[in-house]
Chain A
Amino acid sequence: SQQGEEDPQALSIQEGENATMNCSYKTSINNLQWYRQNSGRGLVHLILIRSNEREKHSGRLRVTLDTSKKSSSLLITASRAADTASYFCATDALGGYNKLIFGAGTRLAVHP
Chain B
Amino acid sequence: KAGVTQTPRYLIKTRGQQVTLSCSPISGHRSVSWYQQTPGQGLQFLFEYFSETQRNKGNFPGRFSGRQFSNSRSEMNVSTLELGDSALYLCASSMEGGETQYFGPGTRLLVL
A interface with B by C-beta (< 8 Å): 1-2, 30-31, 33, 35, 40-45, 48, 50, 88, 90, 92, 96-105
Contacts and interface: CB of A to CB of B under 8 A. Distances in A.
Given A2-B42, A33-B100, A43-B103, A99 B90 contact: no
Query: What size tier do the contact residues of chain B reach?
Result: 20 to 34
A98 B102 contact: no
A103 B37 CA distance: 12
Contact of B56 (A2, A30, A96): A96
Interface of B: 4, 31, 33, 35, 37, 41-45, 48, 50, 55-56, 58-59, 88, 90, 92, 94, 99-106, 108
Contacts of B108: 40
B55 A102 contact: no
A1 B33 CA distance: 17
Contact of A40 (B33, B56, B88, B99): B88
